[in-house]
Amino acid sequence: MKILAIETSCDETAAAVVEDGRKVLSSVVYSQVEEHKIYGGVVPEIASRRHAEQIVPVTRLALSEASLSFCDVDAVAVTAAPGLIGALLVGVNFAKGLCLSGGKPLVAVHHIRGHVAANYIAHPALEPPFICLIVSGGHSHIVEVKGYTDFRVIGKTRDDAAGEAFDKVARVLGLPYPGGIYIDKAAAKGDAAAHKLPKPAVAGSPYDFSFSGLKTAVINLVHNLNQKGVCLAEKEVNDIAAAFQHTVCDILTARFIKAAKELGCKRLALAGGVSANSTLRAYVKAAAEESGCELFIPPIELCGDNAAMIGAQGMFEFMAGNISGLDLNAQPAWPIETGL
């Protein structure tokens, strides 16, 4: 079964063709990041406009790179939630138009379920059940993946998502947007022990996260250094980046492994943009080995937003009978557990 997948939830206009949920025939990602960089974050109105301009050429390219025409695909999968509403609407309405004109089934995909499904592409033998740490710009979830379309949230952030914290700390340190990758690079040259940062916990919820206090601690640290007349030269930036990255990754890894032990789950997966982080990958790998767990991590190109992961999850939604009508609407927020 061949699925044409569309993803426009944030600042990547993406289309892909995926066969049987695991084999990527093509994957095209048009990133708007350079345009948003000058504003230090995604400008929703600009994102929507660029999606509207790019969706047709990006989809055409995905079909031609797969050496297919639209007649050859069996269904259209589209990210319908969560994300920027104007951005999502471009993809959803485009997919609806394609399905109406071509008489194809329409499959709505939850963006975060898509991130999890990136692992099915990378690891053909991976099947649920497993437990997944999903860390992106908008989400930080520990999820029990009971089946391909059956999810239970074990823990989640109460405030900032991990990626959001990376991006905000990068901004304070004078690093470009999106900050995650720049923090990762700076941290590689820094000393994580140079600063001790807090590890906020959520009372009574051992698997939830709270990154807002940690972000504020870094902001205060930078202000205090500035007040003492310390200019943030490369060494200071690298050390703070290293301390912050170590602290976030330590919190994420400890709660993820604790949840896996509690559930007696021996199969672990990572997903989302922040799962590209070198320290997170190393910490989770070491902890998984120590606990005798099997670990699945997507390759870097499948960690960030792309449409291949939407095509992969789209196939499992289709198999579960989750076909949408042309009254499908985009949703800026939607729980991962609930069908669209």
164 binds Zn ion (CB under 5 A): no
305 binds Zn ion (CB under 5 A): yes
Rounded to whole angstroms, how far apart are CA atoms 249 and 295?
16
Taking the least distance from each CB to Zn ion, the nearer of 136 and 279 is 136
Q: Which string of DSSP letters, residue by residue, matches 171-230? A: HHTTPPSSHHHHHHHHHHTS-GGGS-------TT-TT-B--HHHHHHHHHHHHHHHHTT-
Taking the least distance from each CB to Zn ion, the nearer of 239 and 305 is 305
Instruction: Give the nearest distance from C-beta 178 to ligand KG4 in angstroms.
Output: 4
CA dihedral defined by 33, 43, 248, 209, rounded to 10 degrees? -140
Which residues are at the interface with ligand KG4 (CB under 6 A)? 10, 136-138, 163, 166-167, 178-181, 184, 272-274, 276-277, 304-305
Half-sphere exposure of 51 (CA within 13 A, CB side): 29
Taking the least distance from each CB to Zn ion, the nearer of 119 and 136 is 136
Instruction: Give the nearest distance from C-beta 8 to Zn ion in angstroms.
Output: 11
Looking at residue 335, its amino acid is P
The item of ligand KG4, Zn ion, none sharing an interface with residue 178, based on CB under 5 to 8 Å by kind, is: ligand KG4
Instruction: Give the nearest distance from C-beta 10 to ligand KG4 in angstroms.
Output: 6
Rounded to whole angstroms, how far apart are CA atoms 240 and 111?
32
The item of Zn ion, ligand KG4, none sharing an interface with residue 314, based on CB under 5 to 8 Å by kind, is: none
Taking the least distance from each CB to Zn ion, the nearer of 184 and 305 is 305
The item of Zn ion, ligand KG4, none sharing an interface with residue 274, based on CB under 5 to 8 Å by kind, is: ligand KG4
Instruction: Give the nearest distance from C-beta 235 to ligand KG4 in angstroms.
Output: 20
**Residue 76 phi, psi (nearest 5):** -120, 125
Residue 122: alpha-carbon gap to chain centroid: 15
Do 142 and 156 meet the contact criterion of CB atoms below 8 Å apart?
yes
The first and second tokens of residue 176, run together, are: 């470009």
Taking the least distance from each CB to ligand KG4, the nearer of 73 and 302 is 302
The item of ligand KG4, Zn ion, none sharing an interface with residue 73, based on CB under 5 to 8 Å by kind, is: none
Rounded to whole angstroms, how far apart are CA atoms 54 and 219?
37
The item of ligand KG4, Zn ion, none sharing an interface with residue 166, based on CB under 5 to 8 Å by kind, is: ligand KG4
136 binds Zn ion (CB under 5 A): yes
Q: Which stretches of the chain bind Zn ion, using CB under 5 A? A: 136, 305
